[in-house]
């Protein structure tokens, strides 16, 4: 559910969510977490709220930037690069970043907030009586869905001639395919696609991409 950042940030996030979910599950089935479990909850709850806010903010600010090499990326033509830039949340003078499925960021937000609520049932009898075991069930279910359906961040760097290199390659191939579909739609051509065709950005004229996606 972590949307970027260093390896240590990811490790801390996983530990915090696991502690909240596990202690709340033990409590929900009638177990007694004990002082150690309650201490874990008290430490992890602020992290869960901060992670939820961070995931929500990523919807507008995009993913955390990372460094990558040309070998870790896929080359896009100027027409494809124009599409990539138009749909990125971060657009700088040398490159930027975005999400392929930005609306999926709601999943980690819900998972983190429900994890924090699950922890609250451990330390508050009043909250426990009102919500019961629902926060535990919600956070585990939504976290699993978020793992299966990530928002998929991508990063790009501009190259000479108006092109770009995009990382990671799987995201680049999807973006190149979307650019080709958007170009066909802009020309009024029929499109046969297995995924919903994207809507070109306003005033975005995309020429026919010259590169081909792998079969």
Distance CA 166, CA 198 (A): 19
Distance CA 166, CA 69 (A): 10
Q: What is the mean pLDDT of residues 31-42?
A: 84
Q: What is the mean pLDDT of residues 12-40?
A: 86
Q: What is the mean pLDDT of residues 98-120?
A: 93
Does the pLDDT value for residue 210 go beyond 50?
no
pLDDT of residue 214: 39
Handedness of CA 154, 158, 159, 161 (dihedral sign): positive
What whole-number percentage of the chain has pLDDT above 90?
A: 43
Distance CA 153, CA 161 (A): 25
Q: Which domain holds residue 165?
A: 7-186
197 is a domain residue: no
214 is a domain residue: no
211 is a domain residue: no
Q: Which residues contact 5 (CB under 8 A, 6 or more apart)?
A: 64
For the record, the structure tokens of 106 come out as: 């709601």
For the record, the structure tokens of 76 come out as: 């896009």
203 is a domain residue: no
How many CB atoms are closer than 10 A to CB 140? 18
Count of the separate structural domains present in the chain: 1
Better pLDDT: 186 or 151:
151
pLDDT of residue 195: 55
Does the pLDDT value for residue 165 go beyond 90?
yes
Does the pLDDT value for residue 80 go beyond 70?
yes
pTM score, whole prediction: 0.77
For the record, the structure tokens of 144 come out as: 């699993």
Confidence of residue 5 (pLDDT cuts 50, 70, 90): low
What whole-number percentage of the chain has pLDDT above 70?
A: 86
Distance CA 105, CA 164 (A): 25
69 is a domain residue: yes
Query: Could you tell me how far CA 30 lies from the centroid of its own chain?
Result: 34
157 is a domain residue: yes
* Most confident residue range from 29-43, 116-130, 157-171: 157-171
Does the pLDDT value for residue 57 go beyond 90?
yes
19 is a domain residue: yes
């Amino acid at each position: 559910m972590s949307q970027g950042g260093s390896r240590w940030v990811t490790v801390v996030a996983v530990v915090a969510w696991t502690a909240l979910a596990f202690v709340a599950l033990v409590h929900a089935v009638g177990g007694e977490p004990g002082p150690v479990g309650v201490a874990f909850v008290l430490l992890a709850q602020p992290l869960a709220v901060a992670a939820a806010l961070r995931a929500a903010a990523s919807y507008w600010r995009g993913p955390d930037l990372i460094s990558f090499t040309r070998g870790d990326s896929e080359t896009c033509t100027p027409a494809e690069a124009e599409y990539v830039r138009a749909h990125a949340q971060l657009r700088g003078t040398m490159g930027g970043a975005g999400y392929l499925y930005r609306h999926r960021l709601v999943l980690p937000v819900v998972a983190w907030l429900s994890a924090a609520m699950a922890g609250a049932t451990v330390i508050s009898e009043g909250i426990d009586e009102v919500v019961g075991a629902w926060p535990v069930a919600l956070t585990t279910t939504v976290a699993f869905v978020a793992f299966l359906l990530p928002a998929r961040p991508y990063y790009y760097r501009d190259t000479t001639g108006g092109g770009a290199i995009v990382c990671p390659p799987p995201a680049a191939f999807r973006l190149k395919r979307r650019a080709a579909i958007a170009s066909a739609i802009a020309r009024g051509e029929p499109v046969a696609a297995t995924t919903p065709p994207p809507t070109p950005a306003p005033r975005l004229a995309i020429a026919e991409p010259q590169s081909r996606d792998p079969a």
